[in-house]
Chain A
């Protein structure tokens, strides 16, 4: 199924949605948002692209296999959980924060890395599920 409207729209919507997903990810600590929702939005971007241009093209666009994103995200999340054990001698998952505020991103701490890990895992899981189901159908 080819639709010019959808194809054209997806070309603009893909970067916009990914940008929006990063925005949602970053505002997540104090405001509604976070890694899970951000990841869902980012995977919607790719799924929309797949609907409009076919699975092959969006696989090429993603470059890496979505299954690879799952362990990457898990490792990031696990790493952020372990950091307080190694460096501070605090219980696992204690929030460790960099004291200065960075421009654009805001305060950086282990929670941000945990959320980023969740973001990657959600993208990986969603795309794996959708790609597998739509390939078989």
Chain B
């Protein structure tokens, strides 16, 4: 083996954090596209729940108009929850998580990059599918637009909050149940405001204040959740 002659004295310079985040993000996207059924799972779940509701409860237009936004929001929330366990699990099992934590970069920003990748791969496709399913549950066009907007603001919050739970339950063997128990209470405010916004829109009320509140959720989650996830990851790795 021939090695490039390295400089052995301790160095202080390191790569910019932006580049490190980009690398983490691209790797996650690449891995996801090589394992497409994991990508399709939450989407299929979303479509199935929304399709089964009219069959199981009532196909009446009046009922669907009333409940449609709620059904879509709950289905989106559950399918994000379904995909959360994968966020760190594979990395934990194959050892890439250890290497991530040992990168000479602020860990919370690397975690943020991973969470953004998770949202683009699961949350965003749900938002894209929403107009189709909205038409299926007979929502008026105005409501569909507002629903898409709330999901666009709301699903990143779900991914961010979920990353804390996923990181905390990483070392456990039966993480699924605990993850749901931990995370669902934190999802409830987002759900209430998400569906509340659509309800207000369908009554013709202004939705600006609702959307501003949801935006506040998002800002809060972006600024705080990565810190909590990074700390939780360190604890989970320390106990493994």
Chains A and B belong together in one complex = no
Interface residues in chain A, defined as those with a beta carbon under 8 Å from any beta carbon in chain B: none
| B interface list, Cβ under 8 A from A | none
